[in-house]
Homo-oligomer: A and B are copies of this chain.
Amino acid sequence: MSEPRKLEVLRAIVEDYVHSREPVGSKALVERHHLGVSSATIRNDMALLEEEGLIAAPHTSAGRIPTDKGYRLFVDRISAMKPLSAAERRAIHSLLEGADDVDDILERTVRLLSQLTNQVAVVQYPHSTRAKLRHIEFVLLAPRQVLVVLIADSGKVEQRVVDAGVDVSDEDLTLLRARFLSGISGAPLAHLPQLLAPVVALCPPALQAPAAVLARGLDKLAESSRDERMMMAGTANLARSNVDFPLSIGPVLEALEEQVVMLRLLSEMAEDPRGVTVSIGRENPYDGLSEASVVATGYGPGASAKIGIIGPTRMDYPSSMAAVRAVARYLSRILGS
C-alpha cells in the first residue's frame, strides 16, 4: 500500500464524514473521490488504517469513522487551512466599525467568530501580568468605608470597597494616598505585595491601622487584576450539534461555565508553529470535553492571550482553523492600535 494514497483515503474519510455525519464505506469513497483504484483496494487500505487506530467501525457492516487519532493526523499532516470567503473577510473587517472599549471589542469578536464557525467561541481577556501601577485613588464613601481604586498602565481599572476599621477623614486619605503613591507608583503590579509593607511602616502611628487595611485592599486588587477572565458566545450552536455529542451537551456546558477550567485549558494549549493549536477529543485534559475539540491561538502582544472555538470532534477543522487565525490576527491589529 502506498503511503500517500493511505493519507489520501484518510482525508477522504474525514471530509466525507464531517460532511455527512455518516460512516463512510469503501464504495461510496471511490465514487465521490477519483482515487484511481477500486473499492477492494480501498478496503485493504482501510483495514490498515483501522489497524493503526486512525479509523474505526461502529459495527461490523458499517462504514468507518475517524478516531481522535485520525483527526489528529488529518490536522497535522493532511489538511490545509481553507481560505476564508470574501464575505467572511468583509464580516471580519466590518467588526472594526464602532469599536469601543476592550469589552466591546471582545464581545463583538466572539460573536463574529461563533457565527463564522457555527461553534462556541471563547476569548480570554488580554494579559496584564506585566502591567505597572499608574495611579491609585482612595475615596471616602462613609465614615469608615473607603473605595480603593487601582489603575494600571494597561488601562485596566479595579476597585473595591474596604472597611477602614476606624473613622478616617478626607485629609487622612489624601495623606495616605500621597505616601502610597510615592512608594509604589510605576511599580509592576506583581511586586505590590513586597512594596506595600515598608510604605505602611512609614505612615504616622495614628494611621497605621487604616493604612494596613488600605494596603491589603490594594494587594487584593492587584491580585484580581492579575487573575483572568474570559468571554464567550454561541452556546446555542451546541444545541444544533446535539447529535454529535453521544451523551449530551451537558458536560460541555458545564465546562464552559467553569471559567477556571476554560482558562487553564486555553493557556495550557501549547503554541503550534503553524499558528493555530488544536486539541482533539480525549486529548483534552478535562473529562467533560472528551467528545469535543478546541481550536485556539494566541493574540495580542506576544500572543499571550488566547482566542478559540469549541465544538464536536466532528468539525470542519480547516475552516475553523482559518477563521480562528484570521480573527485573532485582526483582533491583534485592532488592539495594537
* A contact residues vs B (CB 8 Å cutoff): 100-101, 134-135, 137, 139, 141, 147, 149, 151, 153, 155, 157, 159-161, 233-236, 238-240, 242, 248-251, 253-254, 256-257
CA distance A153 to B141 in the complex (A): 7
Whether the pair A161, B240 counts as a contact (CB closer than 8 A) is no
Which residues of B have CB within 8 Å of A249?
Answer: 239
Whether the pair A141, B161 counts as a contact (CB closer than 8 A) is no
Whether the pair B147, A151 counts as a contact (CB closer than 8 A) is yes
Q: Which residue of B lies closest to A154 (CB)?
A: B141
CA distance A147 to B135 in the complex (A): 11
Which residues of B have CB within 8 Å of A153?
Answer: 141
Number of copies: 2
Whether the pair A147, B139 counts as a contact (CB closer than 8 A) is no
Given that A135-B139, A151-B149, A155-B141 are contacting pairs, would A250 and B257 also be in contact in the complex, using a CB cutoff of 8 Å?
A: no
A-B contacts besides A242-B242, A242-B248, 12 pairs, CB < 8 Å: A100-B160, A137-B149, A139-B151, A147-B151, A149-B151, A151-B159, A235-B256, A236-B250, A238-B253, A239-B249, A239-B250, A239-B253
Q: Which residue of B lies closest to A156 (CB)?
A: B159
Q: Which residue of B lies closest to A250 (CB)?
A: B239
**6 cross-chain pairs, A with B, having the tightest CB-CB distances, nearest first:** A239-B250, A236-B253, A157-B159, A236-B254, A239-B248, A236-B250
Q: Which residue of B lies closest to A159 (CB)?
A: B157
Q: Which residue of B lies closest to A256 (CB)?
A: B235
CA distance A92 to B242 in the complex (A): 34
CA distance A248 to B236 in the complex (A): 10
CA distance A236 to B236 in the complex (A): 12
Which residues of B have CB within 8 Å of A239?
Answer: 248-250, 253
A-B contact pairs, 27 of them (CB 8 A): A101-B161, A134-B139, A134-B141, A135-B137, A135-B139, A137-B137, A139-B151, A147-B155, A149-B149, A155-B159, A155-B161, A157-B157, A233-B257, A234-B257, A235-B253, A235-B256, A235-B257, A236-B250, A236-B254, A238-B253, A239-B248, A239-B249, A239-B250, A239-B253, A240-B248, A242-B242, A242-B248
Q: Which residue of B lies closest to A253 (CB)?
A: B236
Give the distance to chain B from A186, nearest Cβ to Cβ, in Å.
13
Q: Which residue of B lies closest to A220 (CB)?
A: B100
CA distance A254 to B233 in the complex (A): 9
CA distance A159 to B160 in the complex (A): 14
Which residues of B have CB within 8 Å of A100?
Answer: 160
